[in-house]
Amino acid sequence: MAQRVYLVVFLLCLRLMCPLATGIFMDKLASKKLCADNDCVYTISLARAEEDYNASDCRFIDIKKGQLIYVYAKLVKEKDSGEFWAGSVYGEQYEDHMGPVGYFPSSLVSEQHVYQEANKTLPTT
């Protein structure tokens, strides 16, 4: 009986890993991004969420109205695309460490403070 349970769990895990092996294609949001440094690790600005946003896929982060978001990169808007920034939410849930990093629509936030200029144009990967 235990062997059957292990076999079922193994097959389920194998099925869940299948999409990872084949890959999932997602359209690029932009070809270029603006950052403060070559690795896009330095904070550009601090923004406050003006509205809630539920992430549409794994590239994005959820934001809630009033949350502070540290911005690390700003995607260069292209024809027929939205304008997105990359950042991380800080708050009570994450206390003293960084939360998940991802994209969010820049139209849903207001910049509260600019730490440094995003003057490096880099290709997105």
Structural domains of the chain, with CATH? 24-123 (2.30.30.40)
Burial (CB count <10 Å: 0-12, 13-18, 19+), residue 68: middle
Tell me which residue of 64, 82, 84 sits closest to 74, measured CA to CA: 84
Coil vs helix vs strand at 19: helix
The whole-number average pLDDT for the span 83-112 is: 84
Note the pLDDT tens digit of each residue in 47-62.
999 999 999 899 999 9
Q: Which amino acid is present at 66?
A: G
Beta bridge partners of 88: 70, 101
User: pLDDT confidence of 30, banded at 50, 70, 90?
Assistant: confident
* Tokens of residue 100, six digits: 């998940």
Q: What one-character DSSP code corresponds to residue 4? A: H
Share the mean pLDDT of the chain: 81
Q: Which amino acid is present at 15?
A: R
